[in-house]
Amino acid sequence: MNRPAILALEDGSIFKGTAIGADGQTSGEVVFNTSMTGYQEIITDASYARQIVTLTYPHIGNTGINAEDVESDGIQTAGLVIRDLPLLASNFRSEQTLSEYLSEHKVVGIADIDTRRLTRILRDKGSQSGAILAGADAEGDDAEARALGLAKAFPGLEGMDLARKVSCKTPYEWNQGEWMLGEGYPDVSETERPYHVVAYDYGVKRNILRTLASLGCRLTVVPATTSAQEVLTMKPDGIFLSNGPGDPEPCNYAIEAIRELLGSGVPIFGICLGHQLLALASGGRTVKMKFGHHGANHPVQELATGKVLITSQNHGFAADDETLPETLRVTHRSLFDGSLQGIERTDVPAFSFQGHPEASSGPHDVASLFGRFIEMMQVRR
């Protein structure tokens, strides 16, 4: 735990700390996440591809790592920044330490820096291109200059199509339900699931699929580039548009497919990137946010009822409500900055939400949106 590490931001800020995880170097967009729990779910969420995640909660790694609480096949973040890595990881489900997990997946990280100072920079100046050098790469008189050069060379996420890169390559069936203590994830392949849902994988989180499966959905997961005609030949009762990383506007293949699917009358439900893509397919635009929403404590208002919901969030782009066509109605707004959080089509059965109702990790205040999707499929039948 005495290996050096350096974090550099494009604005010239330098942080020196201790390397955790693998030796080497990485670059990406540096963002901060205010969640107090769920570090394992965060770093395995494909929505964080090409991002270096700073966790503002000071003690990360307390409960170790287990094989169950993952949202993908491995670590998706470009790097990890934390204040303190506890010497002891203790939990009855723990199988390895956070540092061991990072090393296993060849991901670099840095600890023992002032994450409060870093978060203030990102809050005031916006998300920054950054770089981490760890271990032998962080040694030498020119280490800071090399880190700064690597940070400035990262082009940023605007215009970057990452959904295509993190998506599955071939369709597959999903047969895993929600986790239960002492039992893990049940196999639901033999249970009655009356609704066939085709789920677009733009970087889908596994807990979203588990939630849908537990609610009676037989799931076929398809690659991000799958055409509308291919999906319709599967005769779905519903279509799900998943979360994912990067800028939604370059994803022309997805926008065109969704636009065609909207004309089919099949109910559509989008989350996160899927929400932004639904807005684009309907004629709206998206914008890059200053520092985005990343955390599990974001208040969102449901406009129809006035109810305030605490939500889990992870996005750096947002649908621009000033560009929405008449066929879209705003359903939810962020109480942090007023940004658009939910929309629904007024002419066809389609709606979406910016946050993460599957709440892995986070609160379950908006889990009822999955029930709404089920009801839409019932009505169509």
Catalytic residues: 272, 356, 358
> H or E segment at 286?
strand 285-302
Spatial distance between the Cα atoms of 286 and 280, rounded to a whole number of angstroms: 7
Sign of the C-alpha dihedral computed for residues 143, 83, 22 and 42 taken in this order: negative
Written as six digits, the tokens of 91 are: 């939990």
Contact 60, 83 (CB under 8 A): yes
Spatial distance between the Cα atoms of 99 and 110, rounded to a whole number of angstroms: 10
- Residues sharing a CB contact under 8 Å with residue 305, sequence separation 6 or more, in sequence order: none
Spatial distance between the Cα atoms of 45 and 76, rounded to a whole number of angstroms: 6
Strands of 340-345's sheet in order across: 172-174, 217-223, 195-201, 238-241, 268-271, 350-353, 340-345, 328-334, 285-302, 308-320
Spatial distance between the Cα atoms of 141 and 153, rounded to a whole number of angstroms: 20
Residue type, 17: G
Written as six digits, the tokens of 12 are: 């010239």
Residues shown for the chain = 381
SS3 category, 21: strand
Spatial distance between the Cα atoms of 30 and 20, rounded to a whole number of angstroms: 17
Residue matched to tokens 């398809």? 222
